[in-house]
Copies of this chain bind each other. A is one copy, B any other.
Amino acid sequence: MTDTVLFILEIVGTAVFAASGALAGLQRQLDAFGVVILGVCTACGGGVIRDLTLGITPPVMFCQPVYALVAMGVSALVFLPAVRHLLAVESRAYELVMLWLDSIGLGLFTVVGVQCAFQQAQDYNLFLLVFVGVITGVGGGVLRDVLSNQKPYIFVKHFYACPTLIGALLCALCWRHLGDIPSMLLGAAVILVLRLCAAHFRWGLPHAADLPE
């Protein structure tokens, strides 16, 4: 049961992150292959960083082709005329679709990272669980931004790392009380809601320029 739910969460996370990477590639005028590669890197990057950190070699995505295949399929779908047409007509659509895709992927990968750290050793300290969760969640997106030569999202978008940290902490703290699946769903939901609220209400942290000196 746990394994099935976990697998579904991972596949959904992979699909939405692949779509966000492919969209970023489309926006940057890459060709079909570049779009697919950027999609796969974004979808699988976080997991690879997580596995290398925990000492799982070769990383899971190299042993089980399903993740890369899902990422390739989804990235190719983004190249369909209907999708590109929508993005061309509705300029605001790109920002909005990206926000949703990125937030869902961020939430799912963060809690999957926490779960993976728990599985490796039951006696890991809270700090490691939360940190592994955070780098799993943000890793793919940072890779996408570095590879497509943009200022990483995590530095410029208000309130990107903050919800990830809160969600990972909540997930790790509730683990023993609520059980694994409920904790993961709670953590992912909190991350999604916090990010959507931040975007809607334009929450932000102070910039150096805004502060009194």
Contact = CB atoms under 8 A, between A and B. Distances in A.
Interface centre among A34, A85, A150 (most CB of B within 10 A): A34
Contacts of A160: 33
Contacts of A57: 52-55
Contact of A34 (B26, B62, B79, B154): B154
Interface stretch (A141-149, A175-183, A188-196): A141-149
A155 B30 contact: yes
Copy number in the complex reads 3
A120 to B, nearest CB: 8
Interface centre among A30, A150, A160 (most CB of B within 10 A): A30
B156 A147 contact: no
A128 interface: yes
A5 interface: no
Interface residues of A, number: 59
Nearest to A129: B62
A58 B53 contact: yes
Interface stretch (A9-17, A166-174, A200-208): A200-208
19 contacts: A28-B151, A29-B207, A30-B155, A32-B207, A34-B155, A38-B155, A48-B53, A53-B62, A55-B55, A62-B128, A63-B125, A65-B125, A68-B131, A79-B208, A81-B211, A81-B213, A142-B147, A146-B147, A149-B149
Interface of A: 25-26, 28-35, 37-38, 48, 52-55, 57-59, 62-63, 65, 68, 79, 81, 84-85, 88, 125, 127-128, 131-132, 142, 146-152, 154-156, 158-162, 204-209, 211-213
